[in-house]
């Protein structure tokens, strides 16, 4: 029988001898071996072809031996499952054919919410399991939280202000809730299938929730995240993490969702949070811009962080947001090695 992986121990709120380390977007464009594959396949092919998704998920684990692997996929598989057509345009991100703005748009979505039509994700999970088991590295599955997924569907792509989503919020909140409800049901089925196929942890990304006023977060994000967490068929109680930006503002609500781990952005005073009386484990929160620093400065920064976060109780090292494509793999190695040798 294998030892419980460090990531799981920490996610369950326990003490660890050092913080487990992984990084959001650790599988991606900053890796030359990823860019090599991307020459032959576009992003959508990469995530929807199980062999490619498997390979890309494993790339950072081979190179850096992180303490957790995160499935290479995208939060927009849920709109895809619901029948939305979109494409990923280089340097622009996702672009939807028809943004969702009216009752008619919502009626046109698939009525099947089983998430069975995105089974390439489950196949990738099944392919990854034996290889990751051999390394005793847990696999983290994920989904977008309903508000963030809805915002892409409404905006028709990325948006810095979520103007269309907020217009719907103030002008037709019932319609917005109807959409959030459909996404929630599909996401529950999607995550249940991930659990059945073997993920050992889950993370919900509510990346754009940080643009909402506190009471709008309470109305549009909190209840749906809570419903998902409490509806999962999770017999082994695999740990569930919730991530959003501007985490400080919503911390109290996030803690009430029933999640095991809150993944905090870099604006959070991490040592203070770790020392506080809390009912959740904490993941985060280095600003990835520090990975542009000379390596001696980066190493000092990590060592200071390790000193300030001791003892490591329910603490998983991560970034405050994802790695940028122009970050050097050597910087990632410097961070992982400094933590692993602490």
Binding-site ranges for a copy of itself (CB under 8 A): 160, 163, 166-167, 169-171, 210, 212-217, 246, 248-250, 266-270, 285-287, 289-290, 292-294, 297-298, 320
Q: Is 278 a catalytic residue?
A: no
Q: What is each CA distance from 156 to 37, 43, 149, 165, in whole angstroms?
A: 28, 18, 11, 10
Nearer to a copy of itself, 69 or 209 (CB): 209
Q: Is 29 a catalytic residue?
A: yes
Note if 126 is an active site residue. no
The Cα–Cα gap between 342 and 327 comes to 23
- In the complex, what is the shortest distance from the CB of residue 87 to a copy of itself, in angstroms, rounded to a whole number? 23
| 87 vs 287 by CB, closer to a copy of itself | 287
Residue identified by tokens 């993370």 is 203
Please tell me which residue in 29, 41, 63, 337 is annotated as part of the active site: 29
What's the min distance (Å) between Cβ of 290 and a copy of itself?
6
Pick 62 or 163: Cβ nearer a copy of itself: 163
Q: Is 152 among the catalytic positions? A: yes
Catalytic residue of the set 74, 206, 260, 265: 74
The smaller minimum CB distance to a copy of itself, of residues 297 and 307, is found at 297
Nearest residue (CB) to a copy of itself, 153 versus 244: 244
Q: Which is nearer to a copy of itself, 190 or 290 (CB)?
A: 290
CA distances from 9 to 4, 6, 36, 125, 162 (A): 7, 5, 35, 22, 37
Q: CA-CA distance, 75 to 206, in Å (whole number)?
A: 10
Q: How far is CA 185 from the centre of its chain?
A: 19
- Identify whether the C-beta of residue 242 lies closer than 8 Å to the C-beta of residue 261: yes
Q: d(Cα 165, Cα 101) in Å, to the nearest integer?
A: 9
The distance of closest approach from Cβ of residue 307 to a copy of itself in the complex, given in angstroms and rounded to an integer, is: 13
**What's phi and psi for 253, nearest 5 deg?**
-70, -45
The structure tokens 């369950």 sit at 12
Q: Distance from CA of residue 10 to its chain's centroid?
A: 17
Which is the catalytic residue, given 7, 25, 67, 122?
A: 25
- Indicate which residue of 7, 122, 152, 190 is catalytic: 152
CB of 317 to a copy of itself, least distance (A): 14
Nearer to a copy of itself, 6 or 162 (CB): 162
CA distance 28 to 197: 23
Q: What is the closest distance, in whole angstroms, from the C-beta atom of residue 330 to a copy of itself in the complex?
A: 15
Shortest distance in whole angstroms from residue 231 CB to a copy of itself: 27
Instruction: Report the catalytic residues.
Output: 25, 29, 38, 74, 152
């Amino acid at each position: 029988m294998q030892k419980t992986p460090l990531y799981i121990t920490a996610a369950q709120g326990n003490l660890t001898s050092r913080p487990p380390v992984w990084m959001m977007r650790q599988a991606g464009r900053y890796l030359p071996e990823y860019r090599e594959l991307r020459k032959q396949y576009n992003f959508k092919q990469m995530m929807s072809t199980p062999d490619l998704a498997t390979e890309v998920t494993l790339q950072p684990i081979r190179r850096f031996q992180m303490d957790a692997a995160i499935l290479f996929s995208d939060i927009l598989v849920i709109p895809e499952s619901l029948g939305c057509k979109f494409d990923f345009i280089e340097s622009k991100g996702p672009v939807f054919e028809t943004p969702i703005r009216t009752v008619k748009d919502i009626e046109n979505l698939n009525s099947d919410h089983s998430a069975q039509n995105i089974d390439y994700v489950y196949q990738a999970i099944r392919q990854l399991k034996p290889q990751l088991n051999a390394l005793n590295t847990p696999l983290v599955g994920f989904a977008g939280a309903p508000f963030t997924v809805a915002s892409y569907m409404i905006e028709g792509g990325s948006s810095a202000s979520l103007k269309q989503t907020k217009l719907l919020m103030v002008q037709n909140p019932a319609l917005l809730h109807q959409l959030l409800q459909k996404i929630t049901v599909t996401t529950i089925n999607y995550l249940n299938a991930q659990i059945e196929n073997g993920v050992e942890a889950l993370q919900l990304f509510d990346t754009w929730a940080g643009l909402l006023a506190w009471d709008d977060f309470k109305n549009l994000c909190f209840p749906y995240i809570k419903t998902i967490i409490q509806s999962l068929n999770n017999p082994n109680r695999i740990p569930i993490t919730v991530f959003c930006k501007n985490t400080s503002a919503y911390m109290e609500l996030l803690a009430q969702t029933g999640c095991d781990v809150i993944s905090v952005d870099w604006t959070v005073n991490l040592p203070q949070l770790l020392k506080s009386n809390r009912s959740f484990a904490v993941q985060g929160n280095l600003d990835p811009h520090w990975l542009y620093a000379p390596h001696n400065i980066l190493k000092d920064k990590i060592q200071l962080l390790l000193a300030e976060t001791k003892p490591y109780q329910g603490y998983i090292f991560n970034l405050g947001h994802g790695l940028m494509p122009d970050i050097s793999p050597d910087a990632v190695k410097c961070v992982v090695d400094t933590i692993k040798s602490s």
